[in-house]
A and B are shown apart, each in its own frame.
Chain A
Amino acid sequence: MADWTQVSYRYDGSFAGFLTCVYESYAHREAPACFLGSQDERLSLWPERTVATHPARARQVYRSLAAKLGRTGRQLVVYGFLTCLPERELHLWALLRLGYQEGPTAMERLTDSRVWTVRKAVGQLQGEAHLFKGFVRFSDYEGLLIGEISPKNRVLPLLRPHFCARYAGAPLVLHDRTHHEALFTRSGGKWAILPVEDFQTGPPGAEELAFRQMWRRFYDTVAIESRYNPRCRMTHMPKRFWGDMTEFQTEESAPSLPSAEGNKGTRLS
């Protein structure tokens, strides 16, 4: 690997694109020094190679994951790509390289920094996804459930199976403000995660307002005054989640939620 040329890869930011980069790096015996998105304006000191996403090559690399890295390793790579780990592609590439050299058992070397960095980031992603399973709040717009979140990691793919199971595929929209994408599901188990440009909302109906009020009242009532412990609450539920939660909103402050018409070009297919 010492004789591999260092290059920087420019790709479209998709997972298939990343896997194509992995393919290219082995095909050309190149070690990626950095990964740039197609919109990225950074310049690198290394020679740059633009990699066009190639589905067949990506699939070939993906198929190799289970064999070379094991199921655990494959999950680490797939989930690792969804994390907010800085330079995540480089860390994943290092992990892939380790797996290709040493086989699936290498994923158990917890003290190896290549393994641990990715494991830790994936752990944080899963932790955040678990919190959001509880902290997401939906509003009912005549049968359509709409919710908004601002996660650090891209949690939508992890939340999707949970909410599909919970609502038996009933129609819902969950907007990820940080990554400008949204999960759409509809009855019959069809779903899609699509990029969203603009997310606007109509006013909530009377029933929705009544339920919000009842929930706030319930939330305030269940707290026992003589046990007041704000630090404990913040430990379990950090303040960054509060903004999107009904119990901390008043009707004036509640950000108006999106209406279905607002999502041009992102209809369910």
Chain B
Amino acid sequence: MEVLDKLTILADGAKYDAACTSSGLDRRARAGGLGSTLPAGCCHSFSADGRCVTLLKVLMSNCCAYDCQYCVNRRSNDLPRATFTPRELCELTIGFYRRNYIEGLFLSSAVIKDPDYTTERMVETLSLLRRHYGFAGYIHAKAIPGADPLLTHRLGLLADRLSVNIELPSQKSLSLLAPDKDKEAILSPMAQIRDGIQTARQERARSRHAPSFAPAGQSTQMIVGATPESDRHILTLTQRLYEKYRLKRVFYSAYIPVSDSKLLPAPQTFRPPLLREHRLYQADWLLRFYHFRADELLDEDRPNFDPLVDPKCAWALRHLDFFPVDAQTADYEQLLRVPGIGVTSARRILTARRWGALTFEALKTLGVVLKRAQYFLTCGGKPLEGLRVSPDGVLRHLVAQERPMLARHEPEQLSLFEDQHGKEVSPYGRLDPGLLSV
């Protein structure tokens, strides 16, 4: 089989993996070597679905021994199969990297024979790439659950980031849909990688010659929408993963129907829950950069995100007593809670107000977007001139602003907030399921 055909088959098999980042590491090429990494990461292209392409994301092989229902590469699926030889994959990576197509390699694999054999093959490929080809670019490798810890360790010595996919957000869904995987088998390599990273970091603090182990940390991914877990369940799990396993990132992947299995939503009528995925990412950001806690964003009475407004707005609307925040006097934490003000804007406000009183005009100069923030902000105790809204009105305005961003809505969905008879529908009430799958 030609390399081009293999590439097509094996890129197709890997495309449902969401993780495609190259951040968290600063490294230059050695003389005669090739490749560097940027701490901020680097996107090399964006595919037609708007997702970033930064790594050559391929499977080593798609000949899988497992039969996970949600997975396109499952054993029972009738599909062309291929396997890269280590050398083919290295040539491809180097050729793409030299032409600046990619920032590195994302290597995943179906389980060939068993997890140990698969990991051995991956280690073989990566050590050829690192040692023989002198490649110093970014490598993201998938750790295969169930592989021998020693093999996973060798993988971590070669890769910059390791990830173990948690796949489904609960043990129940996992045993239903992925009978070959279980929670313990997923969590134990995760803990092993966490400890490996920590040990290597301590050793490197003592000696710069100590080997680095997955220096860009580890990440994971879960599928959203294939099983009935609530957003609250997923977000709480995410928070636990960040705290307990020190993950760098948790990725969410809206379920794309790839199977006729009776255990999964029927592919004919199902649309991937992209809006829900988007809201989860927004909340994920709030956890990582805005000092929010999962239980602040969602609770038992409100287990799912509001499709009409983003999680931060929704939080603000439930905590109107926290507002208005004064741009002149509020501290960094308070500013971060204002919808529309992000990390950059908050820092700029802190810097700028040392030099004089802030006005709304000055905020605009700073690049603070007042579209949402205006309802929650005062400058020197004064609200924006001409702004007069009731708490109900705030919600209406915020929803109206979000609308154009929720593109591809049908006209009847646009009028969801107020139906034809002018009767208001509570945005927190029962929602049109169609809206969830924008």
Q: Which residues of A contact B (CB under 8 A)?
A: 108-113, 116, 120, 130, 133-140, 145, 147, 162, 165-170, 207, 210-211, 213-215, 217-233, 235-237, 245-247
Contact = CB atoms under 8 A, between A and B. Distances in A.
Contacts of B49: 223-225, 227-229, 232-233
Nearest to B5: A217
A140 B101 CA distance: 12
B167 interface: no
22 contacts: A116-B365, A147-B100, A162-B36, A162-B38, A166-B29, A167-B98, A214-B7, A217-B4, A217-B11, A219-B47, A223-B15, A223-B49, A224-B15, A225-B49, A227-B254, A227-B256, A230-B50, A233-B50, A236-B46, A236-B50, A237-B46, A247-B45
Interface residues of B, number: 60
B43 A134 contact: yes
Interface stretch (B53-61, B292-300, B312-320): B53-61
Interface string B330-363: 0000000000000000001001101110100010
Tell me what chain A mostly uses at the interface: helix, strand, loop, or mixed.
helix
B200 interface: no
B56 A224 contact: no
B366 A231 contact: no
Given A134-B103, A162-B38, A229-B49, A111 B356 contact: yes
Given A165-B28, A167-B34, A211-B99, A222 B47 contact: yes
Nearest to B99: A138
Given A108-B352, A138-B99, A235-B50, 7 more contacts: A109-B355, A113-B365, A130-B42, A139-B99, A168-B32, A218-B7, A227-B272
B45 A219 contact: yes
A221 B53 contact: no
Interface string B369-404: 000000000000000000000000000000000000
Contacts of A218: 7, 11, 56, 96
B36 A166 contact: yes
A169 to B, nearest CB: 7
Contact of A110 (B8, B12, B31, B366): B366
A168 B31 contact: yes
Interface string B1-37: 0011001100110111000000000001111111110
A230 B34 CA distance: 33
A210 B95 CA distance: 10
B8 A221 contact: yes
A221 B58 CA distance: 11
B27 to A, nearest CB: 9
A215 B33 contact: no
Contact of A116 (B16, B42, B366): B366
B407 interface: yes
B9 to A, nearest CB: 9
Given A111-B362, A137-B100, A165-B36, A217 B46 contact: no
A145 B358 CA distance: 50
Given A133-B38, A218-B7, A219-B47, A211 B53 contact: no
A120 to B, nearest CB: 8
A234 to B, nearest CB: 8
A130 B36 CA distance: 15
Of the candidates B7, B15, B99, B348, the one having the most CB atoms from chain A within 10 angstroms of its own CB is: B99
Contacts of A162: 36, 38
A222 B11 contact: yes
Contact of B101 (A167, A210, A246): A246
B217 to A, nearest CB: 21
Nearest to B40: A130
B38 to A, nearest CB: 7
B87 interface: no
A230 B52 CA distance: 13
Nearest to A168: B29
B271 interface: yes
B266 to A, nearest CB: 14
Contacts of B47: 219, 222-223, 233
